[in-house]
A and B are shown apart, each in its own frame.
Chain A
Amino acid sequence: MKNDFIPSAPLTINWAVTNRCNFRCKHCYSRVDVAEELDFEVLCTVIKKMSAAKVFSVNFGGGEPLLKKDIPGLTKFAVDLGLAVSMNSNGFLITKDMALRLKQAGFGKVGISIDSPKHEVHDRFRGVKGSHGRALAALGYLKEAGIVTSISSVICKINIDDIDGLIEMARSAGVSNINFHNFKCSGLGFANKDVLDLSPEEWHDFYTRAIALKETVEDLQISLEDPIIALFGHKNGPSLVKGSVCGKLSLNIKSNGDITPCGFIPIVIGNICRDDLLEIWNNSPVLNMMRNKVPKGKCLSCESYTECLGGCTARTLALTGDMNNPDPHCWKK
């Protein structure tokens, strides 16, 4: 199924600037990844390439991006070239002073990972005692500094019964947005999938509840980035593409400069230091396959396929070995 509209360059680039981390998360996809990192001058060259390709925004991740030296300096460099910069952090290193530095550097948005309203549940999942309190404090400092904040929660067994609690926590923290991320079976997420991932029926029930909340909660934006919500006839927001956005609107860069379609698909399609970004974007055979998926199995006769395009490509590839297979989270019989 062909997507009608593939922009001439990625809109967003997710960039794991480091795979080092001060946490020990049970679902981590990057701790087992490459250790090599680019130095500041090379990072700036990469930013220039993104700007020249008219990429809108870059989102730093990792690992914990604040373990990378001079993220504020790199951010300022990117903002001066017209890029919007955001970051996903665990919040542990964000003090009042760091929040001000991030604001001065030009960060528009910072997302903090919090997976449960219960501090003991979050701390156990993230592997660091006190991390819940530090994450909430970080949100306060960022807000005070004038940075738009969001909470990212990975939905899995540990929090599936506490969705209302997560929303209440987000409201009281004053964030603009809570992102409910679907559980990805990459890295340790794959190793721990049997104890953390939900069944298709549980995903159905979660999304039924989450969509109802999204439509009724007015003072908080709830984001559900999973393409299988198209099975409800629901879209997360106006988007120009159907199915997964990875490789259609966004790309991922690893700490050593390798380019992958998304952070959860370990197929290297080039290297940002060595290759031409637009050449990869326009001609990568892997991206071409992702943009032109061919339905298989139950997708062949499913009336929702034209909207969901087989669901999350990363998850399907990780669990079945073939991106064209039906999404393993799909509850349709």
Chain B
Amino acid sequence: MKIFRNPDAMWREEDRFREQAYSGLDKGEDVSDTGTSIVLYSGKMFSFNLLGTEIWKLCDGKSVEDIVSELRESFEVEEEALRKDVNAFLESLKKEGLIYEK
């Protein structure tokens, strides 16, 4: 099953906040509350943190396993914990109509 972003959702990365988040990561800070992208869909506005944004960007026809595998190259996280986070995030995106599976 491949995952795709809803083409009606408008989104962009926020460069300034992404730089802040990476700089925080380098210093060992918790950056999970730093939004690095904005998504607008159906009158609702969402902000995703660094990991959320990276997952969102990978929703371009990849499977969950592809997404987890690609993320492991950038984030030093234990695979099972990452898979759990990815699945939970994708579930929340699906609930808001932001992604679909094919």
Contact = CB atoms under 8 A, between A and B. Distances in A.
A56 B12 contact: yes
A5 B16 contact: no
A238 B10 contact: no
A238 B40 CA distance: 10
A11 B17 contact: no
Contact of B16 (A8, A11, A84, A240): A8
Contacts of A57: 10, 40
B47 A5 contact: yes
A221 interface: yes
Contacts of B16: 8
**Which secondary structure dominates where chain A touches chain B?**
loop
A54 interface: yes
19 contacts: A5-B35, A5-B47, A7-B14, A7-B38, A8-B14, A8-B16, A11-B38, A11-B45, A56-B10, A56-B40, A57-B40, A221-B43, A237-B44, A238-B45, A238-B46, A239-B45, A240-B38, A240-B45, A240-B47
A223 B44 CA distance: 12
Interface string B20-56: 0000000000000001001010011111000000000
Contacts of A84: 10
A84 B8 CA distance: 10
A269 B27 CA distance: 37
Interface of A: 5, 7-8, 11, 54, 56-57, 84, 177, 221, 223, 237-240
A239 B47 CA distance: 9
Q: How large is the interface on B (under 10, 10 to 19, 20 to 34, 35 or more residues)?
A: 10 to 19
**Which secondary structure dominates where chain B touches chain A?**
strand
B78 interface: no
Given A8-B17, A56-B10, A84-B10, A237 B40 contact: no
B15 interface: yes
A147 B97 CA distance: 20
Contacts of A238: 44-46
Contacts of A240: 35, 38, 45, 47
Contact of A11 (B35, B40, B44): B40
Contacts of B47: 5, 240
Contacts of A54: 12
Nearest to A12: B40
Contacts of A223: 43
A8 B17 CA distance: 8
Contacts of B12: 54, 56
